[in-house]
A and B are shown apart, each in its own frame.
Chain A
Amino acid sequence: MATAVAEGSSAAQAPAPIQAFTVTLIIRRFDPEKDAEPYWQDFDVELYATDRVLDALHKIKWEQDGSLSFRRSCAHGVCGSDAMRINGRNRLACKTLIKDLDISKPIYVEAIKGLPLEKDLIVDMEPFFESYREIQPFLIASDKPEKERIQSAAQRERFDDTTKCILCAACTSSCPVFWTDGQYFGPAAIVNAHRFIFDSRDEGAQVRLDILNDKEGVWRCRTTFNCTEACPRGIQVTKAIAEVKNAIMRGSADIPVSDLAPTPQRA
């Protein structure tokens, strides 16, 4: 049947072919088995305006240089595998479209910073996940109800923004504090703590607030807002960190909602 589709479409008047562009990518390469130092390498790729940077990387890997190494999985901004620095900004390769970049100049692509470089665009995520695990990112509840735990729409709304985290590390690896102090929990761990601290069904808020009330906890945050800018999910990361700081100061997660600035609606 699909064959019939192809015939059907070619029988119609041929539409103008979609314009392709030659785009130059300059990629920071590093293979610890071969290279003493990372180096930059140029690749020219034919791309459409609607292609993503991930498509460009695939074209290079599949057609030019199979050794180019990067992580990716779902390819549409859900799995969080392909965070990288694109033209100096942390972004997901699968959510960065060529049409949104200035292709009159080369596109610079390198691994995210602050985590040990493994190979090309791949970093060791283990320190990142270690911090994540430390804040106990799971529901802590002593009761065992017969049915689901009921929550009102307003209670859910309280932590809705931080449920969107995909653990891509774009925020943590854009944070200048994290770059210089790898012991800092980092924005992503705090975002995920926030997601449970303010969940009405959870009983572990105080445990998490204690963990984060540490010199390597929330107080390291200098409200640079790099994390908020980097987040590919549009999470108000700096605001979430501020709410956790606030809860520590009050000694409780039960902040009256009226005390908080309204969450801006995302476009």
Chain B
Amino acid sequence: MERYAPTIKDLAPRDIVSRCMVQEVAEGRGAGPNKDYVLLDCTHLGAEVLETKLPDITEFARTYLGVDPVYEPVPVMPTAHYAMGGIPTNVKGEVLSDNDTIVPGLYAAGECACVSVHGSNRLGTNSLLDINVFGKRSGNNAVEYAKTAEFVPLPENPAAFVTGLVDQVRTASGTERIGALRKELQDEMDRNAQVFRTDESLAKVTETIHELRQRYQNISIQDKGHRYNTDLLEAIELGFLLDLAEVVVYSARNRKESRGGHQRDDYPKRDDETYMKHTMAYLTGDPHSADAADHISLGWKPVVITNYQPMERKY
């Protein structure tokens, strides 16, 4: 790590550590028979620290890798861990439909939400902030809202959209399997939109998503029942995953700079002049149309700077 973050070394933020790991492997210095991972050495911490301060991760290494971190280095590689974007909210947990319009009575908190406290990076304990601060605020504010809110008139059959979606997927009679489509989406997203991205890789995975969306029209599930239908659940979730993957890739392609967890090899520098702002993505057309540009429109939201002035990240 000395070469990547000379001062804080192994304590560098996760986006940097992730990129180092992938880069070491890409340059042929990976470990193992396939040279496809790096080794994390924590033997210097000793048994007591590992057992008492890191008991879970120590046990994972033992259970799943057969490696005892007390005595040997652990094979590691980065993986998807957390979604940094999400449903835009304000600091009260109220959902926003654009930069500042509140959707009355709708709250979001946790990994589905994006309050934009940390911008484009996942730092240690981000999710504790989501739970303890914004979870509590959303809950308290929802209670306050509910005390005075009036019921709003509902359309004729308000559940029609959802029941229609569920029935359509449940009774679909195509030939594509959910498991196969999802695996391909995961593999291609890993390959082209993970810790390093280029316009070329993002264009490639855009094509993949488009093709998978078409194949998704031809799915079928085997469980046609109405109880605990996890086959149905996975099928519906895959539809949403495709939507989200498309938004992630489309937004990433539009941001021609590198910032936090978003690293563009073709634009390796951070560009505060142009991009010191949040990406907002709106659905503006038929989500199943071929070209993402036909149904996603992008906007920007200014960044609120408070105590900490932006500066170059030097570690």
Take A69-B223, A76-B64 as given contacts and tell me if A3 and B191 are in contact as well, using a CB distance cutoff of 8 Å.
Answer: yes
B265: CB under 8 A from chain A? Answer: yes
Query: Taking CB as reference atom, which chain B residue is nearest A78?
Result: B56
Q: How far is the CB of A8 from chain B (nearest CB, A)?
A: 5
Take A33-B225, A67-B223 as given contacts and tell me if A5 and B231 are in contact as well, using a CB distance cutoff of 8 Å.
Answer: no
A9 touches B63 (CB 8 A): no
- Set B25, B177, B228: member contacting A119, Cβ < 8 A: B228
Q: CA separation between A188 and B200, bound complex, in Å?
A: 53
Q: How far is the CB of A184 from chain B (nearest CB, A)?
A: 26
B179 touches A62 (CB 8 A): yes
A2 touches B22 (CB 8 A): yes
B63 touches A66 (CB 8 A): no
B227 touches A118 (CB 8 A): yes
Q: How far is the CB of B74 from chain A (nearest CB, A)?
A: 14
B194: CB under 8 A from chain A? Answer: yes
Q: How far is the CB of B130 from chain A (nearest CB, A)?
A: 17
A61 touches B179 (CB 8 A): yes
B225 touches A122 (CB 8 A): no
B307: CB under 8 A from chain A? Answer: no
B34 touches A2 (CB 8 A): no
**Which residues of B are found within 8 Å of A52, using beta-carbon distances?**
64
B225 touches A1 (CB 8 A): no
B227 touches A66 (CB 8 A): no
Q: CA separation between A71 and B184, bound complex, in Å?
A: 23
**Which residues of A are found within 8 Å of B183, using beta-carbon distances?**
62
Q: CA separation between A65 and B195, bound complex, in Å?
A: 34
**Which residues of A are found within 8 Å of B231, using beta-carbon distances?**
61, 66-67, 69
A8 touches B35 (CB 8 A): yes
A95: CB under 8 A from chain B? Answer: yes
A9 touches B36 (CB 8 A): yes
Query: Taking CB as reference atom, which chain B residue is nearest A120?
Result: B228
- Set A2, A12, A32: member contacting B192, Cβ < 8 A: A2
A31 touches B225 (CB 8 A): yes
A65 touches B222 (CB 8 A): yes
Q: How far is the CB of B139 from chain A (nearest CB, A)?
A: 15
A50: CB under 8 A from chain B? Answer: yes
**Which residues of A are found within 8 Å of B36, using beta-carbon distances?**
5, 9
- Set A5, A65, A97, A265: member contacting B22, Cβ < 8 A: A5
**Which residues of A are found within 8 Å of B228, using beta-carbon distances?**
69, 118-119, 122
Query: Taking CB as reference atom, which chain A residue is nearest B230?
Result: A69
B190: CB under 8 A from chain A? Answer: yes
**Which residues of A are found within 8 Å of B223, using beta-carbon distances?**
66-67, 69
A186: CB under 8 A from chain B? Answer: no
Using an 8 Å CB-CB cutoff, how does the interface string of B233-249 with A read, 1 for contact, 0 for none?
Answer: 01000000000000000
B155: CB under 8 A from chain A? Answer: no
A179: CB under 8 A from chain B? Answer: no
B34 touches A76 (CB 8 A): no
A63: CB under 8 A from chain B? Answer: yes
The residue in A52, A58, A67 that gathers the most chain B C-beta atoms within 10 A of its C-beta is A67
A4: CB under 8 A from chain B? Answer: yes
A187: CB under 8 A from chain B? Answer: no
Query: Taking CB as reference atom, which chain B residue is nearest A100?
Result: B63
Q: CA separation between A153 and B35, bound complex, in Å?
A: 43
B177 touches A62 (CB 8 A): yes
**Which residues of A are found within 8 Å of B51, using beta-carbon distances?**
265-266
A34: CB under 8 A from chain B? Answer: yes
B282: CB under 8 A from chain A? Answer: no
The residue in B22, B23, B34, B265 that gathers the most chain A C-beta atoms within 10 A of its C-beta is B34
Using an 8 Å CB-CB cutoff, how does the interface string of A42-83 with B read, 1 for contact, 0 for none?
Answer: 000000001010000010011101110110000011100000
- Set B179, B196, B221: member contacting A2, Cβ < 8 A: B196
B179 touches A95 (CB 8 A): no
A15: CB under 8 A from chain B? Answer: yes
Q: CA separation between A131 and B95, bound complex, in Å?
A: 36
Q: CA separation between A265 and B230, bound complex, in Å?
A: 40
**Which residues of A are found within 8 Å of B229, using beta-carbon distances?**
69
30 contacts between A and B (CB under 8 A): A1-B194, A1-B265, A2-B190, A2-B196, A3-B192, A5-B25, A8-B27, A8-B35, A9-B34, A9-B35, A9-B36, A31-B225, A33-B226, A33-B227, A61-B231, A63-B179, A66-B221, A66-B222, A66-B223, A66-B234, A67-B222, A67-B223, A70-B230, A76-B64, A77-B60, A77-B63, A118-B227, A119-B228, A265-B51, A266-B51
Please name 7 further chain A to chain B contacts, defined as beta carbons within 8 Å, in addition to the given A8-B27, A50-B64, A66-B177, sorted by A numbering.
A8-B25, A34-B225, A63-B177, A66-B231, A67-B222, A118-B227, A119-B228
A interface list, Cβ under 8 A from B = 1-6, 8-9, 12, 15, 31-34, 50, 52, 58, 61-63, 65-67, 69-70, 76-78, 95, 97, 118-119, 122, 265-266
The 4 A-B residue pairs with the shortest CB-CB distance, nearest first, are: A62-B179, A1-B196, A15-B33, A67-B223
